[in-house]
Amino acid sequence: MTKSKIRKKILKIRKKNNLRKITLDSNKILQFIKKIIKGKIIGGYYPYNYEIDDLSILNKLEKKKYEISLPKINIKNQMDFFKWSFNESLKINKYGIPEPISNKVIYPDVLLVPLVAFDNKLNRLGYGGGYYDRYIQKIQKKKKITTIGLGYSIQKIKKIPTDIYDIKLNFIITEKEILK
């Protein structure tokens, strides 16, 4: 099956099941993050289109003195992460996704990554724009980063078709398992 067919099928399933009722155990994720990293800068995302809601995780991390950042898309369709706090406003980008107003670029130690589909080999399928693949490749040249995909177990498929531009994640967490 092609990437676009997988994407269409999984997005339809995700929407149909209205998975907002399924949540990840944010305390379990906090323990996991503390165990695997030494840094204090977390890159999250603002949930969109029935993605796993990572805001409660980010909120708990911020209360534990982690520095939180969210992505912004720039004119060249590149993505960077900017410092953000829950007491700060957000603005809506061209895709309808809230972004930080801040202009302070920061480089996360841990990146929480939304996904459309994934497989057991830690391959991820996104929306097809390549934003996360390009960003991860760029930041890996500057520092070590741990990538954690967040998804629902029903987004797991047998095999994600990959090409040279696709970057594997370090971990994927669902409501049922942690893939390493």
> All domains of the chain, ordered by start, with CATH?
3-179 (3.40.50.10420)
Q: What is the pLDDT of residues 93-119, one digit of tens each?
A: 988 999 999 999 999 999 999 999 999
Residue 174 has pLDDT above 90, yes or no: yes
* N residues, the chain: 180
Share of the chain above pLDDT 70, in %: 98
Cβ-count burial 65-94 (b if 16+ within 10 Å, e if not): ebbbbbbbbeeeeebbbbbbeeeeeeeeee
The pTM is what?
A: 0.94
The answer to whether 148 touches 180, Cβ cutoff 8 Å, is: no
Q: Record the tokens describing residue 36, joined without a space.
A: 């695997």
Q: What is the pLDDT of residues 46-82, one digit of tens each?
A: 999 989 989 999 999 999 999 999 999 987 889 999 9
pLDDT level of residue 25 (50, 70, 90 thresholds): confident
